[in-house]
Amino acid sequence: MTKIAIIGGGIVGATAAFYLVQTKDNQVTVFDEPHGQATRAAAGIISPWLSKRRNQKWYRLANAGTQLYPQLVIDAQLDQRAYHEVGTLITRKTDVKLDELWQLAQARLQSAPQMKNIVRWSPQKINAELPFFKPDIFAGGVFVTGGARVDGKQLVNQLLRHANVQLVKQHAQIKRQQTQILVNQQPFDQIIIAGGARAPELVQQLGFNLLVRPQKGQLIELADNDLAITGNMPVVMPEGERDIIPVGKHQLMIGATHENDQGFDLTASTQVINDLLKSGQSVITGLTESMITNVRVGTRAYTDDFAPFFGQLPALKNVWIASGLGSSGLTTGPIIAKLMAQSINGENVDLTPFTLPVTNYLSSIDRKA
Q: Where are the domains of the chain?
A: 2-40+153-212+305-364, 88-146, 215-300
Q: For position 369, what pLDDT does the model report?
A: 42
Give the CA distances from residue 287 to residues 138, 226, 278, 284, in Å, rounded to whole numbers and listed in that order: 18, 9, 9, 6
C-beta of residue 40 within 8 angstroms of C-beta of residue 65 = no
Report pLDDT for 40: 82
215-300 has the same fold as 2-40+153-212+305-364 = no
Statement: 2-40+153-212+305-364 belongs to CATH 3.50.50.60: yes
Question: For residue 36, what pLDDT is reported?
Answer: 65
pLDDT at 315: 85
Amino acid in position 347: E
Which positions of the chain have pLDDT values less than 50? 366-369
Q: Please, what's the largest Cα pairwise distance for the chain?
A: 68
Nearest to 321 by CA among 305, 343, 306: 343
User: Which element (helix H / strand E) includes 301?
Assistant: strand 292-302
How far apart (Å, rounded) are the C-alpha atoms in residues 261 and 41? 19
Strands 180-183 and 174-177: antiparallel
Mean pLDDT value across the chain: 93
Asked if CATH classification 3.40.50.300 holds for the domain at 215-300, the reply, yes or no, is no
pLDDT reported for residue 365: 59
